[in-house]
Amino acid sequence: MISASIHIAYGHKYKGIEEYRARGSCHRCNQKKVRCSKTQPYKSCLKSNSECVFPGPSHTPQRKKRPLKAELISRLRSLEHKLREITQERGDPVSTTNSAAKNAHRVENKHSRLIMERDSTRYITHKILISLGNQIEELKGLVQSPGNIIIKDKDKKYLQNSNQFLFGYSSIASSLSAFHPSVRDSQILWKAFKKNVAPVIIIFHKPSLHRLLYKIATSSNYINRASEAVVFTVYFAAVTNISPEQCAEELSQDHSTLLQQYRFTTQQALARAGFLQSQNQTMLQAAVLFLTCLHRPGDAEFVWTITAAVYQLAQGLGLHRDGTHFELSPFKIELHRRLWWSIYLLDSQSSELHAIGTLISGSYYDTKLPLNINDSDLSPESTTSPDERIEFTEITFCLIRCEMTVLYRRSFLNAHPSNSEGHPSHLLDERLRQLEEIRTHLQNRYLQYCDTSIPAQWVTATVIRLALARSWLIAHLSQGTMRVRMPLIEISPEGPKRKQLFLTAIEVVEFAYLLETDPRTARWAWLFERYPQWHAVVFVLTELCGRGQSVETERAWTVLQKAIERWTQRDFHKGGITLKTVHHFLEKAAVAHARLGNDRIRELLTR
């Protein structure tokens, strides 16, 4: 009976029940979604008086097809690509690969690297430094705990107040009137500020600032705390940038003592006024000037950290939006712009020293550049904006700094061009095109009006030439060309382009050294010292490793020794990752040219 039923159900001659049992469950178990014993007949089928029928070969239920392995891999890759795009937009690391060597190791990817040694960690995003890191064994020693930085005894008192400043003092309720200078000393400090600081800083409107200082110097009994912070910051900036001899002769005081005093009073004034909770633009002006003029041991880390707070405060004040959006007066619009661009420059400078990306991105602000005018063209009572001058003005130098910094950041730091995945020459051509455009713009807008017999204008022309040469050099180095053992590996060692790059790098170092040491620029050397041209120095050193003795290499050694010696003498850069990188390649170049026995080289390497 059962055999007959199966034969009828299949519509063909019975071949043996085992052949079909192996194919699956009977029809009833398959419909009920229950386990089938695949015996003939199944107990449940007998109980329900149902036929126990197994499917034939053409009716065997098929499992649903699952995605093929290739399709799964394709989907995973697509998700990884989307995740990579999102994290790159945020500036986060995409992936990490760990490796360890002794006490140091790094976590790296294409655009960033995390260097860890003992209890210290340093995250860097500077493309050239990341590529250079491949030539330094695990970047060992490029990070340093603040506790390991050696500070001279004479600087300990100077630094001891930095951290307390963030949290205030127990004496914040006391008056600072005893620390205000006499009217005579106030005017001396003002003249020093006007000569050594104001020409290269665009934060204030000088006539208004002078009136404020004079008013407080003659009557400091009643003064709001924001204004007090400003005047003490001006005094600190002035003392920072005068010589010990001038301080003793004109102020009859020891320079280091006076410097310590005005740093304390500036920090005290900022703490008293609640700098970190402030919504006051005057307070932020004081803080930016203070950070811009710091250049003693340990200050680089302090400036970098507090700059982040300044940036947040600037956002809270709406400085990242142009003042014309808010119907401000022409005077307030101009000060609004000057303060924002001073923060922009501070962010660029501190980020460069730490080899990490900047806080401010080009897509986030629309604040225009300040007008190319003199301070006498504007006053708090102005009802209309003055016309820009077609000539060199008091603010021209700072405008050029801003424009060159914007070009550098857009082209080499924060940009991720869409064609960067194509041939490297396409990206290089685009960067060189942008560089030529800015060169033409600077020539037509500013440079043609520079009278190089005037120190400020000679400095401006020299800075333009230096900045253009540096940008041209970095445009080539940003192609990932500084590689292990063979920098610029795509270019023939004997090719004219490689020689041109080598000579340009030497020229950049020479210009930078000239700006720091020439008598015409001595008063502003404090600013230029904060911009070490380490890209050019490292490139020249790596080139020296593969070049023999020649006129060009002797020229390179002459300027390198002088430039690096000045760096190592400046406490502001000590312990920094860029200076340590320079020392590493200096040793390699000295070995290649048999100069390790040179007393001057040996002294530089031991500092």
For residues 320 and 365, the answer to whether their CB atoms sit within 8 Å is: yes
**Is the backbone of residue 417 left (phi > 0), alpha (psi -120 to 50) or beta?**
beta
Residue 440 has pLDDT above 80, yes or no: yes
For residues 295 and 297, give the distance between their C-alpha atoms in angstroms, rounded to a whole number.
Answer: 7
pLDDT in tens, 570-582: 655 555 566 777 8
Residue 9 has pLDDT above 90, yes or no: no
Mean pLDDT (whole number) for 59-66: 50
Structure tokens at 60: 């065997």
For residues 457 and 517, the answer to whether their CB atoms sit within 8 Å is: no
More confident residue, 322 or 535: 322
For residues 241 and 258, the answer to whether their CB atoms sit within 8 Å is: no
pLDDT for 121: 56
pLDDT for 167: 53
For residues 5 and 19, give the distance between their C-alpha atoms in angstroms, rounded to a whole number.
Answer: 16
Q: Per mean pLDDT, which range of 142-146, 272-276, 356-360 is the poorest?
A: 142-146
* 117: β partners: 104, 120
Closest C-alpha among 204, 185, 313 to residue 250: 185
pLDDT for 482: 42
For residues 101 and 137, the answer to whether their CB atoms sit within 8 Å is: yes
* 105: β partners: 100, 116
Each domain of the chain, given as residue ranges in start order, spans: 119-149+423-606
Closest C-alpha among 471, 550, 460 to residue 508: 471
Residue 102 has pLDDT above 50, yes or no: no
pLDDT in tens, 222-234: 688 999 999 999 9
Residue 93 has pLDDT above 70, yes or no: no
Mean pLDDT (whole number) for 534-543: 88
Closest C-alpha among 90, 108, 128, 605 to residue 352: 128
Identity of the residue numbered 174: S
pTM summary value: 0.73
Produce one character per residue of 61-85: b if its CB has 16 or more CB atoms within 10 Å, e if not.
eeeeeeeeeeeeeeeeeeeeeeeee
Residue 114 has pLDDT above 80, yes or no: no
Q: How would residue 238 be classed by pLDDT, with cut points 50, 70 and 90?
A: very high
Residue 136 has pLDDT above 70, yes or no: no
More confident residue, 377 or 45: 377
pLDDT for 416: 46
Produce one character per residue of 515-543: b if its CB has 16 or more CB atoms within 10 Å, e if not.
bbeeebbebbbbbbbbbbbbbbbbbbbbb
pLDDT for 16: 44
pLDDT in tens, 245-298: 999 999 999 999 999 999 999 999 998 888 888 889 999 999 999 999 998 767
Residue 380 has pLDDT above 90, yes or no: yes
* 124: β partners: 113
Structure tokens at 114: 């995390």
Q: Per mean pLDDT, which range of 199-203, 408-412, 420-424, 591-595 is the poorest?
A: 420-424
Q: How would residue 374 be classed by pLDDT, with cut points 50, 70 and 90?
A: very high
Q: How would residue 557 be classed by pLDDT, with cut points 50, 70 and 90?
A: very high
For residues 384 and 404, the answer to whether their CB atoms sit within 8 Å is: no
More confident residue, 499 or 480: 499
User: How many helices (H) and strands (E) are present in the chain, helices listed first?
Assistant: 25, 4
For residues 222 and 225, give the distance between their C-alpha atoms in angstroms, rounded to a whole number.
Answer: 10
* 604: β partners: none
